[in-house]
Amino acid sequence: MTSILTNIAAMSALQTLRSINSSMEETQGRVSSGQRVGEAADNAAYWSIATTMRSDNKAISAVQDALGLGAAKIDTAYAGMESAIDVVSEIKAKVVAATEQGVDKAKVQEEIKQLQDQLVSIANGASFNGQNWLVYDSNNTAADNPATKTVVSGFIRNADGTVLTSSTEYALTDVVATGGPSMNVLFQTTDGTVGGGILGTGAEDLGVTGTAANFSASTSIQSMDITDYTDGDMSLALSLVEAGLKLMQSAASQLGSISMRIDLQEEFANKLSDAIDSGVGRLVDADMNEESTRLKALQTQQQLGIQSLSIANSNPENILSLFR
């Protein structure tokens, strides 16, 4: 039946054209954004996963920044400890040289005093962003001066959805361990007075014991004065310096181990971030080859749809010929 009121062919062609235009809008949106899942309406499950993983990736990026800051602190502390080891090794050489008969111990002590002063300069100067891991102020118990320093080393999302950060610790204060004291700071200050730590702790507390004329149990590497030392004193002084060197080497080893772990964690964080980006891309990114092909096909369909609608709209005009 032919009617001038209802054009079934035109209605069908228009419906088809609307469908094609809708598909074109969707495809053009994917082409312009590069995503096939750009909002929750596209695919709620994939959108949710992608949004969560992007958030986690930002957290991992923050961890990378924290790792860089932590690495800088540790590198500064390690550089200071390494320099201090060189200076104490020089003191050790001076003590050995002073054991030779006829050597003026007072002159050697002048050199040792300069080296002792240099140790204080090194310890105080090994600071990064206001944090010094080689000197600990035992009176300062503020939150920004903890006895155990921590470096953020990772971001973790558990299977139950909970999140947390992992950290690496480095204890500054003296720790009594089996076989003798263990400490990781060069000095521990109290009321502004330099003392304690590896360089300020007395010989007896470092495990050096013995009886001598001028060498006492409270003698430290920093306070040692060999001017009037006898052969027995020199022997104990040498033992004291050797004990200090061992503790400093132990602290440097810990700093080196943490530095190595941070380097490994930074490398892992970079790979993890890339893997997350890749995984999210697999979920939500559009295949541009496929989308461009689809867009070209839809453009052709659109042209044909417009032509079909034009033909359908011209059909009622044929009715005019019946009245001629």
Q: Is 61 left (phi over 0), alpha (psi -120 to 50) or beta?
A: alpha
pLDDT for 33 equals 74
pLDDT for 67 equals 86
Residue type, 275: A
The model carries a pTM of 0.75
In total, the chain counts a number of residues equal to 324
User: Do residues 81 and 259 touch, judged by C-beta distance below 8 A?
Assistant: no
User: Do residues 77 and 248 touch, judged by C-beta distance below 8 A?
Assistant: no
Rounded Cα distance, 93 and 26, in Å? 79
The alpha-carbon radius of gyration of the chain (Å, integer) is 39
Rounded Cα distance, 46 and 252, in Å? 48
User: Do residues 206 and 218 touch, judged by C-beta distance below 8 A?
Assistant: no
Tell me the DSSP string of 64-86. Answer: HHHHHHHHHHHHHHHHHHHHHHH
Parallel, antiparallel, or unpaired: how do β-strands 163-171 and 175-177 relate?
unpaired
For 75-256, CATH number?
Answer: 1.20.1330.10
CA end-to-end span of the chain, whole Å? 20
For 175, phi then psi, to 5°, come to -130, 125
Give the start-to-end residue ranges of the domains of the chain.
8-34+286-317, 75-256
Share of the chain above pLDDT 90, in %: 24
Q: Which two tokens stand for residue 53?
A: 């993983």
Query: Kind and range of the H or E element at 93?
Result: helix 44-98
Q: How confident is the model at residue 177 (pLDDT cuts 50, 70, 90)?
A: very low
Residue-wise pLDDT tens digits, 259-317:
888 888 888 888 888 888 888 888 887 778 887 888 888 888 888 888 887 877 777 77
Tell me the DSSP string of 245-278. Answer: HHHHHHHHHHHHHHHHHHHHHHHHHHHHHHHHHH
Out of 12-26, 153-167, 207-221, 293-307, least confident range: 153-167
Rounded Cα distance, 84 and 132, in Å? 14
Rounded Cα distance, 17 and 19, in Å? 5
Residue-wise pLDDT tens digits, 6-32:
777 778 888 888 888 888 887 777 787
Q: Is 101 left (phi over 0), alpha (psi -120 to 50) or beta?
A: beta
Residue 115, CA distances (Å) to 46, 108, 245 in order: 65, 11, 14
Rounded Cα distance, 37 and 34, in Å? 9
Q: Is 178 left (phi over 0), alpha (psi -120 to 50) or beta?
A: beta
Q: How confident is the model at residue 176 (pLDDT cuts 50, 70, 90)?
A: very low
CA atoms within 13 A on the CB side of 188: 17
User: Do residues 186 and 172 touch, judged by C-beta distance below 8 A?
Assistant: no
Average predicted confidence (pLDDT) for the chain: 83
